[in-house]
């Protein structure tokens, strides 16, 4: 996992100081850059492309786009090969640059091409906006706070509170009640009223000219309504076996050593 902070609030000192709360998420490298008048801080845990070329924040070669990203794209190699056929020139072997390249060529609609777990922010200097996105089922965290013309985005809540330490955040009693009753908080709420949990399967655009925040759903699971399917037990077992094998093969793609931990069910 990695962690990041993207903010129009605060100073560089405040942003870097707040990075201590997500240090454990990315011990391999800390990157900071002020891009398009927005602070970007990234804590990297390197899995794909261990070289400095995979460090973040990462920028497009033309200097128009910047990405901070947490996650892993399992089909990035296939997507990379497709981009190479379109004559895209890569500077790294990382999946981060694949996301940046896809955005540059296809725009934010490229999300449907991704297979993996992710949360990211892309700063587009041409459109003067920020794009936020989160994976299909919300495996990677993403929180945000908006006040008038400013936005603060982070992988965790603590950096938001630390950067805005002069602001008194009110507790969300309904969210706390939900957590105590169900063990989770529903929808995009957190235990603080003004800090939101970005929903999975959504992307949002924050316009830096008009300061509008527009959110759209990009993924919804599809369920077949066909009830006349012949159930073949052997065929189903084979299909499940192939799906599990494919998933495992994709998940172990790494430039680090891979380990396996089996649970006895008592953890």
Catalytic residues: 2
Q: Residues 103, 62: contact at Cβ < 8 Å?
A: no
Q: DSSP assignment of 110-177, as one string?
A: GGGG--EEEEEEEEETTTTEEEEEE-SS--S--EEEEETTEEEEESSHHHHHHHTTTS-PPB-HHHHH
- Alpha carbons within 13 angstroms on the beta-carbon side of residue 49 total 18
Residues 6+ apart with CB under 8 A from 252: 258
What is the rounded radius of gyration, in angstroms, for the C-alpha atoms of the chain? Answer: 20
DSSP-derived 3-state class of residue 7 = strand
Distance CA 45, CA 144 (A): 22
Q: Residues 102, 78: contact at Cβ < 8 Å?
A: no
Distance CA 130, CA 19 (A): 20
Distance CA 267, CA 56 (A): 34
Comparing C-alpha atoms, which of 203, 257, 259, 252 is closest to residue 50?
257
């Amino acid at each position: 996992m990695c962690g990041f902070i993207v903010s129009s609030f605060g100073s560089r000192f405040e942003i870097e100081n707040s990075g201590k709360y997500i240090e454990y998420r990315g011990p391999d490298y800390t990157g900071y850059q002020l891009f398009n008048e927005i602070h970007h801080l990234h804590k990297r845990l390197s899995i794909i492309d261990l070289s400095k070329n995979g460090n973040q924040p990462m920028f497009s070669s033309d200097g128009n786009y910047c990405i901070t990203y947490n996650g892993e794209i399992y089909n990035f190699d296939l997507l990379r090969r497709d981009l190479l056929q379109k004559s895209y020139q890569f500077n790294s072997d990382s999946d981060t640059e694949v996301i940046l390249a896809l955005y540059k060529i296809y725009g934010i609609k490229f999300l449907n091409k991704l297979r993996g777990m992710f949360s990211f922010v892309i700063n587009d200097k041409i459109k003067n906006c920020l794009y936020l996105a989160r994976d299909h089922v919300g495996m990677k965290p993403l929180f945000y706070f908006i006040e008038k013309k400013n936005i603060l985005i982070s992988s965790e809540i603590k950096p938001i509170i630390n950067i805005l330490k002069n602001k008194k955040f009110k507790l969300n009693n309904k969210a706390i009640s939900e957590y105590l009753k169900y063990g989770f908080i529903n929808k995009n709420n957190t235990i603080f009223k003004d800090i939101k949990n970005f929903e999975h399967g959504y992307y949002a655009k924050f316009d830096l000219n008009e300061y509008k925040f527009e959110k759209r759903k990009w993924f919804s699971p599809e369920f077949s309504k066909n009830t006349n399917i012949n159930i073949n037990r052997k065929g189903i077992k084979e299909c499940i076996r192939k799906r599990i094998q494919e998933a495992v093969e994709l998940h172990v793609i790494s430039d680090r050593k891979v380990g396996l931990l089996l649970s006895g069910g008592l953890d």
